[in-house]
A = this chain, B = another copy of it.
């Protein structure tokens, strides 16, 4: 079973999540700059943050499946589990925004980010458990970024108890860390291009 349809379905869900969040942006009643900033300013910032997060997951998902792992029922559900957490972003982002970054909504937003990160780790390990074990492990190495993210999410949730706004700083930091593109898979594929057949380099036909 190839990963083509799993990727197409995930692309669809991620594309919708990223776009649907805009529907949550309140359109200002008035028509001045002040109205825009007051009604939608915070919403645009949290939208930007969640957009970047979904973009990061899409980009990493894309890289992960470039390794063309074998796909069985367990991988399908590990992937759906990730999509479940990501699909809650519009909800937790809207609550964060509408309460002006209050304490509990910021914790819930952090837990949502943490849940998605854990689900992604599970997906990666589920794939690394199969016949592609060595390729995936070699490509991802010690996964420093992944572990740093989990630590930062927990730090952010902890900082909320000092002041909710402080908690957002580690969340933004995680986004910045990942915005630097992850070249591990690209490097791995390039390194093995000489040995493999030309077909192998092309990655999954989407």
Contact = CB atoms under 8 A, between A and B. Distances in A.
A99 interface: yes
Contacts of A7: 5, 8, 206
A69 B28 CA distance: 41
A48 B87 CA distance: 11
A7 B12 CA distance: 12
A25 B92 CA distance: 10
B14 A11 contact: no
A77 B181 contact: yes
Interface in A1-57: 1-2, 4-9, 11-20, 22-23, 25, 27-28, 30-33, 35-36, 40, 48, 51, 55
A77 B179 contact: yes
Contacts of A33: 104
Nearest to A30: B99
Contact of A15 (B16, B59, B183): B16
**Among A18, A66, A72, which residue has the most Cβ atoms of chain B within 10 A?**
A18
A90 interface: yes
Interface in A147-206: 179, 181-183, 186, 189, 202-206
A95 B27 contact: yes
Given A4-B205, A16-B12, A202-B2, A25 B91 contact: yes
B203 A2 contact: yes
Given A27-B94, A205-B206, 12 more contacts: A5-B62, A16-B19, A16-B20, A18-B83, A19-B87, A20-B20, A31-B99, A36-B104, A36-B108, A59-B76, A62-B76, A77-B181
Interface string A55-89: 10011001000100000111011001001100110
A62 to B, nearest CB: 5
7 closest pairs, A vs B, by CB?
A: A73-B181, A12-B15, A4-B206, A31-B102, A31-B99, A5-B206, A16-B19
A48 B88 CA distance: 10
